[in-house]
Amino acid sequence: MSRPVAFVTGASRGIGLACAEVLAQHGFDLFVADLADHPSAELTHRMEEAGASMLYRQADISDLDGHEALAATCADRLGPIACLVNNAGIGAPVRGDLLGLLPENFDKVMNINLRGTVFLTLAVARQMLAQPADHARSIITITSVSAEMASPERSDYCISKAALSMWVKNLAIRLAPENVGVFEVRPGIIRTDMTAGAAAKYDRLIAEGFVPASRWGEAVDIGAAVAALATGKLGFATGSVLNLDGALSVPRL
């Protein structure tokens, strides 16, 4: 139990997988909660390559009744939780005219992206504070540039991320006296399974200068930033938003 423990949600692929891998490379052991019954072969391989211990649990973060058990299992089996990475989430179930937004789709997005994340965080935060801190402690929530940039065809997703952004601010104020760093990470256009269906569209937009950095973001870009925040070296920046979008969200004339 000499290694710090990171709890990462939605780590079987994409951004979550990259976060888990880079944290493992920085000396963390991993507790992973994901929808799949078993960890992906890629996740298992990367943890082994990094020399990290991993404990995996199948979980749906929208099931609030399971949160306390997840946090307790992580702490009991691996040790005190040093870092929580809130990555699990879904996109808009349907993209289309804002005026046709359906309540059931809105509720599904909110139950996972917002409600599930908020109450899982509370369960983990209580577990963090109940045990001595041997390592720097952090709670890092992955939102999106859509927390600020509107997309009317997927407004439910944007609203969920904007609400999470305000949640991070409130949490940062509450946990600052406890020396827990709380951060929001906002990815831009990242090459993952979630964006694969719109790859041609984003290729065109990037070629036309939509992203000033003139490239896709990669999942490892997010993982590297999360690991830097998790080390505690930026602890006094608690409450900060880190834009990882190649300057996409910078206002321009």
CA angle 217, 223, 227 (to 5 degrees): 140
Give the other-Cβ count within 10 Å of 106's Cβ: 17
**179, 163, 148: which is closest to 114 by C-alpha?**
163
The structure tokens 């390592």 sit at 135
Give the other-Cβ count within 10 Å of 252's Cβ: 8
202 catalytic per annotation: no
Per DSSP, 71 falls in state: H
Please state, in angstroms and rounded to a whole number, the distance separating the CA atoms of residues 73 and 95: 37
Give the other-Cβ count within 10 Å of 38's Cβ: 11
Cβ atoms 239, 169 nearer than 8 A? yes
Q: Which of 31, 157, 183, 216 is catalytic?
A: 157
What is the amino acid identity at position 233?
A: K
Instruction: Catalogue the active-site residues.
Output: 157
